[in-house]
Structure 1
C-alpha cells in the first residue's frame, strides 16, 4: 500500500493488462422496451420500458417513447441494476502467487492514511470477468493488522483510477483480533489469552490517542500527525469504520468501542451478528456478510449454517449486504446471493442485498436500483442473474455506457478455434 510498492504494481499492470477499450460517455439516449424490470426499489415490472439519458435513468413506464433514441428490444429479457461487490481486492491483485502483483497491505498497526485506490489497476485482467457476471462496481479494501487503511468504490470500466472512483464517505477498515479455540494446556491457554488482551489493548490505546489528538489539534491547529489526522473524521461522524470480525466474542468486544466514540460502523463478516441483533441495531451498525459459500464456523453448526445467515439477519431486522471477499473469486457474488435466496432469504431480498443495500452501505444513494434519477448502471440478461447457468448476460451499462463484455477466456477461445 505504500508508495514504494507502486513501481512493482505498475510493472505488473503493464504485463497483466486487458485490451478492452473503456466506453466513452453516453452520447445518445437509449430506450429499453418490453423488459421485465427488476427495479429492486419498487418490485418487478413486466413488459416495461426504461429510458436512460446522459448516464441517468430518465423514465420508467409501459408506453415510453423517445425520438432519436437507440432502441433495444428487451422482449423476454430481464433488466437488472448493476451489482456492487463489497469487500474485494479487485485490481489490487493480479496473480496471488506472484508478489509484485499483490498490493493489498502494509506493515504496522495503524495505516489509516493509506488509500486502496493508490494500488488499483483499472487494466486488471480480472476486471472483465466480474463485468461478465453483471458486476459494475467494486469496493476495493486494504488488508492488514488492526487499522489497515481506507477503501474506495470504483466502477469497473475506466482508463484511470480517477475515472473509476465513485464519491463516497471516507471508510476505514479495522481488522479485529478474534480469539479462536483455546489450547488445552494451561500455560498455552494463558499465553493465548494474554496475547489477545494485548491486541485489544493496542486497539483501545490507538483510538484513545487518536481521540486525544483531535481535541489537542482543535486547541492547537499547528499540531501534525498524519495517521491520527486520517482518523479524525471517524470521531466527527464524517467517516465510517468497517470492522472485520465474525464470532460472538469479537462482536461483544467491538461494540463498546463503537458506542464509546459514537462511531458510524459496519461489521464485515458478521457470521454471529444475528445473535446480537438488539445490540447491533441499537448501535446503528450494518453488516456486510461475505461468507454465504463458506463452511460452518462452529463445531455444532448445521452444514447449511453459512447459507442461512442472510435470512437470519433479515428476520432480525439488521441492515445488511451480501459480499464475496477476494479478487478474481468476487465474480461469484451473484451465485452466493442465489444460494442465500434459496435458503430462506428469497430472490428479491437477495438481489437487493447485492445492489441497493450494498450501495447504501458503501455510502452512495443513487445506485443499486432502477429508479428515476439513479445512475444508469444496468444489466440485460435472458435469465436469472442469480443463477450463473441460466443468467446469460447480454449487455452491461455503467453510467449509460455500454461495456465490452469480452474476457481473456473469450480471446483464448477464439485463438484456439483457429489452430
Structure 2
C-alpha cells in the first residue's frame, strides 16, 4: 500500500511538473512570465568561497542561467540594479517538520507490553515505521513558510517527527506561488531515526534509551535476514528499511551523549548517520570528531539565569551556568576541529531568533565563510543535491537572498527571498533607512529624536529640554508620520508631523498643532561622534547578547532594535575553560599516570601477607611495581604515608550511578539491552564515590523484569568519556530478578498487565527462556542458517558459562528455585545480590558455588525484607560463601568503608575479612580479582590512601588512584572548591550584566538529582 502511495506521489510530482501548463485556469490570466531576469551590480556569493564583486545574476524559469562580471544579458530581460546590495544563496534546513503534523499522543493509560504485531504485514514494533513517508502527510503552510523565509531559508528537509524509525523525509522549496509539483525537490530525500518512541502507540517497549538501541540493532539484524530471502512472511517495514538504505540516514540524537550512542549503533552495521546534535558537542570535541559523522546543529542558546536572589542562585550548578557562557562557541569549535556541520532552526520557538543566534555564533568566533557553508553548500552536499541547491552555480534553482550588505551583520536588512525564481518581498529595498538621530526646531523649541527599528516597525524617542515626549511613528512610500505629546503632559494633546523622507538624511514637511495651526518642519540626521574602542565593544556586546533571548520571539524584535556599529568585532567572546567533565571538579586536562612511591604506609594487602606496617609501595606504568621496605625510584613522586593506611580501591558489586537509564521494563525479558550503552560520564556521583575510596563498580540493570539487561563494569576514571570507563575485556554479566518487582505487585493497577504476575510464573518464564535458548544455541552451532536474535544470543551465553548472573533476591523459596533451574540447565548462578535471607540458605549457596552480595543492615523497607538481619553477611561468610557488601544507592556507595565495619560488630568478622567484603570479594564475584581487589605486584594500581584506619568513621580518602592516575585528591578538592566559587561569581556577574541590559532571563529551577535504585524507571520514555 505504501509503495503504491509513493508511486502515486511520484506520478503526481511528474504530472505537475510537465502537465500543469494545459490545466484549466479560471483564477486569472494564463500567461506566465518566462522572461530572463538579471540582477546587476551586486556582490554575489555564488558559493561561500566564490564571491563576485559588482556582478550579474541571470535567471530564467526558476533556474540560474549565469553569474559573473561579464554576463551577456539577452533582449527583453527584466533588469534590477542592486548597486550596494548583496546576493546570497538561500539557506537549507536539513532537520525540519514543516508542513507535517505530529501524530496525536495516545493516552498513557493502558500502555501494554508487546504481545504480537499490532499492524498486520509490518514490523512487530509500532515504533519502527520506515514505510512512513512525509510526502503522504505534507501540506504547504504559507504562514510558516513566510516566517522561515524571513530567517533566510529557501529549502527545508521535512519529516514526520514520531517514532524510532520515522520513514522518509521530503525536500521542499518554500515556493509560495507554485504547487507541490514544483516545490517538491525530492519526495524521498532521507531516512530519519531517533531514540524516542511513537507518541501514537501504547506499546510500552522500549521504555529506555538502551531499549531503543537494542530495538534498532535487532531491526537491522532482521532486515539483513529478510533481505536474504529467509523470512516466510511479508514485512513491509523491513522492505521499506532495505529500500531506503541508499538515502542519507539522519539520526535525531539531540545531545552529545546520545550522538555517541547513535554512532555506536551505526558503526555496528556499517551505517554513517548524519546526526542532529544538541549544541553541547564542544564538551567532548575529540569524541565527536572520532565519530566521523556530519552534524546538524541547533543554535537554541540558553538565556542567562535570573541570579538576583542570592539564595536561589546557590542551587545553580556550574555546568548549567557554563552552558550559557560556552554554548555560542560550539560552532566555532566544531569548525576548528574540521567537523562538517550544518545549522537547523529545529527546537526554536520562532524562526525569528535564528538569525540573531547565528550572528551570535559568528561573534563567538565562527568564520562567516564557515557559517555560510553550514547554511548552503554543506546541507546540499549531505543531501546529494549540490547541483540543484545551496549555490548560485549555473543550473541551480534560483534560490537566493537580496540583502543590504553582509548578512552576518546586525544592521543588515533582508529585502527579498527568491525561491525557484519566485520573489517574496520581505522589506521594500527602495525604502530609505531612517534609523538614527535627528535634531529639529519648531516655534523656537529644539527637539532631539532617535528613530530605531525597521521601516515596517519604526520606533521613536523624542526629547526637549530633557523632557521625554510620548510619540508614535509610521513610515510608508517615502512619507513619515509622527505624533508626539505637547510640553504640558497633563493634557492629552498632540503635535502631528508629516514629512517626506526621500533622501534618507532629511525630513521635510509640516507640523500640525492641536489647534490646527501649521508650521514648516525640517529635521536633519546628525552624525554620531566617533566612539572609543571600549564603547564600541560594549555596544556590540549588548546587541549580540540580545540573542540570549532565543526562546522568545519578541526578544528577536528587541534585538533588531539594538544599535550595532557597522564595524565587525575583531575578537571572539571570552568563554570559560572547558573541563573534563565540563562541570564542577572537572580537570582542565585529563590527568596522566605517574610513578608514585608511598613511604611508610600501613598496607592492607588482602593477600597472605595481611596488613604490613611501615611499608613502601611503588606504582609504575599503571601497575603495582614493588612492595617492601626502603624502596626507591629516582623518577617517582614520593608520598609520605606515615601514620596513614594504603588499601586497594573499594569495589561496589551493585550500583546504579553513572547511567542514564536503569530499567528496560517493557518486556519480561530485556537480555538484549546493555547498561554499557547508557553510561553517563558526567554523573557527579563518580566523583563522590572516588572521594569515598571507590574505584570500580558494576552498574546493574534494575529489577523491573525477571531477566534484565546486561551489566557495565567500569572504573571511576573521572573526566574520561563513557567508553573509556568500561573495563577492557570486561567480564560478561546480566541482571536477573526475583520477588515483588518482577511480578509488578508494586507497580500500580494500570501497569499489572504483563506476564508473570506470580512467583511461580517467574519460574516458568525462566524455564521457557532457557529451553528456547538451548534450541537456538543448538541451531546456531549446527552451521545451518538462523535468524540472529540478540536476546537469545545473550541467554545462550549463560548456558555456555560465558555470561554470569547477578540476581536480585530476597525470599529463600525463590533463591532455592533459581538454583534448581540453573542445575536443571547445567549452569551456575554467579551472585545473589540483596540476598537478605541468605543466612537461611547459606549452606545451599556454598554447595551451589554462588556468592552473596548484600546490604550490611538494611531491612523492613518492604514486606519481603521483613526477615532481614544484620548478621546475614557474617553467617554466609562463615558458611563458606564469598560475601560482598554493596550499596544499590548513590549515597551509601561513598560510605562502603563504614558499611564493611558493621560486619565486625554484627557477627564478629575479622577486620581483614570485613575489608575484603568491599574489595577483594566483590572483585572475585565480578571475575576481575586478577586485576584489582588487593595490593599485589602486577595488579592494576587501583589504590586509596586513607588518613586513618580505613573502616573508621574519621577516615578520609586522601588520594584515590586508578591505574596510577590520581583521580581524587583532598588538596585538589579543597582548591577546586575555591575555584568553583570564583567561577560561579564571574558567571553570576555576567548574568547580572545581561539582565541590566534589559535582556530576558530564565528563572532558576532547582534540579533534584535522581537517585536510581533497582526499581527506577526511565519516565522520559513513557
TM-score range, shorter chain: 0.7 to 0.9
TM-score for the superposition, normalised by structure 2:
0.36
* Aligned position for 2:658: 91
Give the whole-Å Cα distance in 2 for the aligned partners of 1:285 and 1:254.
11
Q: CA 1:203–1:44 in 2, change beyond 3 Å: closer, same or farther?
A: same
Q: Which residue of the other structure, out of 237, 245, 254, is the alignment partner of 2:809?
A: 245
Give the whole-Å Cα distance in 2 for the aligned partners of 1:235 and 1:171.
13
Secondary structure of residue in 1 paired with 2:841 = helix
* Aligned position for 1:97: none
Q: Which residue of the other structure, out of 839, 842, 856, is the alignment partner of 1:292?
A: 856
Cα deviation, 1:366-409, whole Å, max 9, x if unaligned, reads 2011111111011111112223x311221111001011346799
Query: Is 2:725 the counterpart of 1:159?
Result: no
* Aligned position for 1:96: none
* Aligned position for 1:203: 766
* Aligned position for 1:188: none
List aligned pairs for 1:100-115, cutoff 5 A: 102-115=661-674
Whose RCO is larger (CA < 8 A, sep 6+)? 1
Give the whole-Å Cα distance in 1 for the aligned partners of 2:977 and 2:696.
23
Query: Is 2:531 the counterpart of 1:322?
Result: no
Secondary structure of residue in 1 paired with 2:870 = helix
Cα deviation, 1:231-267, whole Å, max 9, x if unaligned, reads 2211111111112111111112111111112223211
- Structure 2 stretches of 5 or more lacking a match? 1-209, 215-252, 259-277, 284-318, 321-581, 746-755, 986-1022
Cα deviation, 1:116-170, whole Å, max 9, x if unaligned, reads 0111111211211111010011111111311111101111114212211113321
Q: Which residue of the other structure, out of 46, 58, 62, is the alignment partner of 2:613?
A: 46
Q: Which residue of the other structure, out of 956, 967, 981, is the alignment partner of 1:415?
A: 981
CA contact (8 A) 1:36 1:48 kept: yes
* Aligned position for 2:945: 380
Deviates more, 1:151-160 or 1:406-415: 406-415
* Aligned position for 1:24: 591
Give the whole-Å Cα distance in 2 for the aligned partners of 1:263 and 1:411.
51
Query: Is 2:789 the counterpart of 1:225?
Result: yes
Secondary structure of residue in 1 paired with 2:714 = strand
* Aligned position for 1:281: 846
* Aligned position for 2:932: 367
Shift of 1:306: 3.2
Q: Which residue of the other structure, out of 234, 257, 269, is the alignment partner of 2:821?
A: 257
Deviates more, 1:324-333 or 1:401-410: 401-410
Secondary structure of residue in 2 paired with 1:32 = strand
Shift of 1:329: 3.6
CA contact (8 A) 1:310 1:345 kept: no
Q: CA 1:298–1:198 in 2, change beyond 3 Å: closer, same or farther?
A: closer
Query: Is 2:963 the counterpart of 1:399?
Result: yes
Query: Is 2:916 the counterpart of 1:342?
Result: no
Deviates more, 1:143-152 or 1:268-277: 268-277
* Aligned position for 1:119: 678
CA contact (8 A) 1:23 1:402 kept: no
Shift of 1:63: 2.1
* Aligned position for 1:59: 626
Q: Which residue of the other structure, out of 100, 118, 131, is the alignment partner of 2:690?
A: 131
Shift of 1:214: 0.9
Shift of 1:275: 2.1
Give the whole-Å Cα distance in 1 for the aligned partners of 2:873 and 2:789.
40
CA contact (8 A) 2:664 2:708 kept: yes
Shift of 1:23: 4.3
Give the whole-Å Cα distance in 2 for the aligned partners of 1:379 and 1:165.
20
Give the whole-Å Cα distance in 1 for the aligned partners of 2:800 and 2:926.
18
Secondary structure of residue in 1 paired with 2:758 = helix
Shift of 1:327: 3.0
- Cα RMSD between the aligned structures? 3.2
Q: CA 1:152–1:264 in 2, change beyond 3 Å: closer, same or farther?
A: farther
Give the whole-Å Cα distance in 1 for the aligned partners of 2:611 and 2:620.
22
CA contact (8 A) 2:624 2:939 kept: yes
Secondary structure of residue in 2 paired with 1:288 = strand
Give the whole-Å Cα distance in 2 for the aligned partners of 1:221 and 1:326.
46
Shift of 1:39: 0.8
TM-score for the superposition, normalised by structure 1:
0.85
CA contact (8 A) 1:125 1:408 kept: no
Q: CA 1:227–1:72 in 2, change beyond 3 Å: closer, same or farther?
A: same
* Aligned position for 1:99: none
CA contact (8 A) 2:794 2:803 kept: no
Give the whole-Å Cα distance in 2 for the aligned partners of 1:85 and 1:194.
31
- Structure 1 stretches of 5 or more lacking a match? 94-101, 183-192
Give the whole-Å Cα distance in 1 for the aligned partners of 2:873 and 2:599.
34
Shift of 1:346: 2.7
Give the whole-Å Cα distance in 2 for the aligned partners of 1:309 and 1:278.
13
Q: CA 1:311–1:297 in 2, change beyond 3 Å: closer, same or farther?
A: farther
Cα deviation, 1:7-39, whole Å, max 9, x if unaligned, reads 57657x986763412743314x21110111111
Give the whole-Å Cα distance in 2 for the aligned partners of 1:230 and 1:354.
28
Q: CA 1:390–1:408 in 2, change beyond 3 Å: closer, same or farther?
A: closer
Query: Is 2:380 the counterpart of 1:171?
Result: no
Secondary structure of residue in 1 paired with 2:804 = strand
